[in-house]
Amino acid sequence: MSEDDARAKTLQSPNVIEPRFVKRRIHSNHIAPDLPALRHGSPSDDLVNRRPGNSDDKEKVVRAPFEYVASHPGKDFRSQLINAFNALLQVPPSRLDIITKAVGMLHESSLLVDDVQDSSELRRGFPVAHNIFGVPQTINSANYIYFVALQELQKLGNPSNISVFADELVSLHRGQGMDLFWRDTLTCPTEEEYLEMVGNKTGGLFRLGIKLMQAESSVSSVSGSSSPPLDCVPLVNLVGLIFQIRDDYVNLKSDEYSQHKGMCEDLTEGKFSYPVIHSIRSRPGDVRLINILKQRKTTDVQVKRYAVSYMESTGSFEYTRDVIRILIARARKMASQMDGGDGKAEGIQKGDIPAPTQE
């Protein structure tokens, strides 16, 4: 018996039920009777054709965590830095305002994410945003503002700014990723590895602002010539290192910082900051400090005081102060060379990099 004959015999068996396809009329009024907005001629046409947007009330909801942290301003060091460098770059005021606003938005939104990743309790002396609005809404608000800042930069009409934005945001997240990896795996980096991370993480936003300014500046590296634009990136890289190392120092040594962020918050977070790295590596066989970091979220004041005392004994704070002094001297010399004797870099040369006690 052929295969076709066998199939035909099977289908003729009384035990086999042949599939039947019943045609049924589906009445239009049976489809989603409780959704009148989808009927022909209803407001659904507007919904389909409407361009994506947001009402003022909905915008407030999405931006609420960002607006909360922005309502408690810090020392606004980034704006000070932009203004100091603008003495050299001379960006038109209207374009400088856009750059300053965008960099500020990126900074504030990055703080929202940092506080979540670090399980922080305070920011500038107030409860962190995610303890008020929740983690999901805070993360969404931070990510939203990243792109709102990009929209702001698009107003400049300079395509190169988009590449600058992407490159430095990538650098920032690379640096943050390494910082989190060392913390979460209890891996103490070398000093060189740490400085590279700082160059990406902290230096990213600094470079972003200065590179955007350079793209909008007509000032050349040699006055009155057609030479390339003035390059301030090496100087701002130095400033980024100074800023972060001083931040690490005051986090462990400043009473004012403790009031705004909590006592020795870096120890609570288990962070390998600059003085901590020096202290651990100065006594490789001593695991006391690394064991304190291992505890994570320790709020024991006596333990923190002991850790600070231990770092004093390894000369780590003195070493950190020396490095800061060397970097500041190098930055001032570089600024003087870029200035060309015109006095335009006076704001960079004279001022110490402000200790970020309220960031």
- Binned at pLDDT 50, 70 and 90, residue 308 comes out as very high
- Report the pLDDT value the prediction gives residue 140, as an integer from 0 to 100: 98
- Binned at pLDDT 50, 70 and 90, residue 260 comes out as low
Angle between helices 274-282 and 191-215 (to 10 degrees): 160
Give the range among 53-62, 98-107, 125-134, 248-257 with minimum mean pLDDT. 248-257
State pLDDT tens for residues 181-219.
999 999 999 999 999 999 999 999 999 999 999 999 877
- Report the pLDDT value the prediction gives residue 166, as an integer from 0 to 100: 96
Q: How many degrees, rounded to 5, is the angle at CA 310 between CA 305 and CA 312? A: 95
Containing H/E element for 122? Answer: strand 122-123
Mean pLDDT, residues 299-305: 88
The pTM assigned to this predicted structure is: 0.79
Asked if pLDDT for residue 292 goes beyond 70, the answer is: yes
As given in the structure block, the two tokens for residue 164 are 């600058």
More confident residue, 248 or 44: 248
State pLDDT tens for residues 222-237.
555 555 678 999 999 9
What single DSSP character describes residue 74?
A: -
Residue 122 class from Cβ within 10 Å (0-12 exposed, 13-18 middle, 19+ buried)? middle
% of the chain with per-residue pLDDT over 90:
59
Domain 61-66+78-344 indexed as CATH 1.10.600.10: yes
- Is the CB of residue 272 less than 8 Å from the CB of residue 189? yes
Asked if pLDDT for residue 358 goes beyond 60, the answer is: no
The DSSP line for 179-234 is: HHHHHHHT----HHHHHHHHHHHHHHHHHHHHHHHHHT---BSSTTS-PPBP--HH
Helices and strands (H, E) in the chain, number of each type: 17, 2
Residues 6+ apart with CB under 8 A from 248: 266, 273, 274, 275, 276, 320
- Binned at pLDDT 50, 70 and 90, residue 339 comes out as confident
- Report the pLDDT value the prediction gives residue 44, as an integer from 0 to 100: 59
Q: How far apart are alpha carbons 45 and 333 in whole angstroms?
A: 65
State pLDDT tens for residues 99-141.
999 999 999 999 999 999 998 888 988 999 999 999 999 999 9
Residues 6+ apart with CB under 8 A from 334: 234, 235, 238
Indicate if the alpha-carbon torsion angle 288, 291, 293, 298 is positive or negative. negative
Mean pLDDT, residues 73-93: 88
Amino acid found at 130: H
- Is the CB of residue 274 less than 8 Å from the CB of residue 320? yes
- Report the pLDDT value the prediction gives residue 224, as an integer from 0 to 100: 52
Q: How far apart are alpha carbons 298 and 133 in whole angstroms?
A: 25
Token look-up 């335009």 returns 344
- Report the pLDDT value the prediction gives residue 219, as an integer from 0 to 100: 75
Domain regions of the chain by residue span: 61-66+78-344
- Binned at pLDDT 50, 70 and 90, residue 40 comes out as low
Residues 6+ apart with CB under 8 A from 228: 220, 221
Mean pLDDT, residues 12-20: 52
State pLDDT tens for residues 151-187.
999 999 999 999 999 999 999 999 999 999 999 999 9
- Is the CB of residue 104 less than 8 Å from the CB of residue 31? no
